[in-house]
Amino acid sequence: MVYRKISHDIKEMVVELIHAGILTRKDVLIANIFSASTLKRCLRQWTPHGLPAARTSTGRPRKLGDADIGFILARLQQRTDIMLDELARDLQVVGGPRASISLLSRTLQRLHITRKKVTRRAREASRLSQAAFRLRMAQYSPKQLVFTDETGFDSRQVHRKYGWAPEGESAIRITSGKRTKRATLIPGLCTDGIIAPKIFHCNINTDVFHDYLVRYLLPEMTPFPGPRSVLVMDNVPFHRSLKIRQLVKDFGESIQQLEV
């Protein structure tokens, strides 16, 4: 008999008809309603209140429980460059189950944790600079802040990096080897959205950035402590130049400059 799922209601109705004398076991088997083993099991489980609900199979429980997953996540935060065999050993040391490399790999994949290039950062310098920056930023409201930075692109940066090809062959895309003129976008970002966006078809230096501030961004800002009165920039050399600092300072003698 080909397997098919039979609803609980049909099983219960057939058993009730048998108990009422309307059907016999032979009638049910001849009609091929369900198999002899299923019929026997339903008759055995029958009570005056009907058939009990079928138990839902939950499958085999995962070898790594919630506590094990919590340890793995905490260990990865402590050491992002830990190897899977080291992680398996550490898990067993703290009383967890013996986990294989493949099990840990599948677990990390299920948790959407991927292996990627490590970004190294000096612990002492990072903590001190972050603490100082947060302390300075805490005195301002979000409406006072205006962030600015540059992003450049040319024709070589718009091509897709991956493609399809038969196994053993390279994915080749015919393109021009000539480099187009580079474009650089400089916008301002505040709580109202993007302000003063401008595209420059040249490399950005102190003079170009000075021109952008004078002609586009600073006119959109207001004297301190009003809205859009604190300019936030990163630490590229021309952002730190005396010419830029003096401009920001002299613009109404009220614009504040922070550097991330």
Residues 30 and 71 in one domain: no
Give 4-58 pLDDT, tens digit per residue.
Answer: 677 778 888 888 888 888 888 888 888 777 788 888 888 888 777 777 776 665 6
Q: What is the pLDDT of residue 81?
A: 86
DSSP bridge partners of 258: 232
Residues 75 and 99 in one domain: yes
Q: Report residues of the chain scoring pLDDT below 70.
A: 1-4, 54-59, 120-126, 155-161, 165, 173, 175-180, 252-260
Among 83, 87, 86, 81, residue whose Cα is nearest residue 116:
81
Q: What is the pTM of this model?
A: 0.49
Residues 150 and 240 in one domain: yes
Q: Whole domain around residue 252: which residue ranges?
A: 123-157+180-259
Angstrom distance (rounded) from CA 48 to CA 18: 13
Q: Tell whether omega for the bond before 225 is within 30 degrees of 0, i.e. cis.
A: yes
- 3-state SS, residue 235: coil
User: Which residue shows structure tokens 């010419």?
Assistant: 243
User: Which residue shows structure tokens 């005195």?
Assistant: 139
The reply to whether 116 falls in a domain is: no
- 3-state SS, residue 257: strand
Helices (H), 20-122: 25-30, 36-45, 66-78, 84-93, 101-110
The answer to whether the CB of 180 falls within 8 A of the CB of 155 is: yes
Among 170, 175, 233, 231, residue whose Cα is nearest residue 204:
233
DSSP bridge partners of 195: 188
Mean pLDDT of the chain: 82
Instruction: Count up the domains in the chain and report the number.
Output: 3
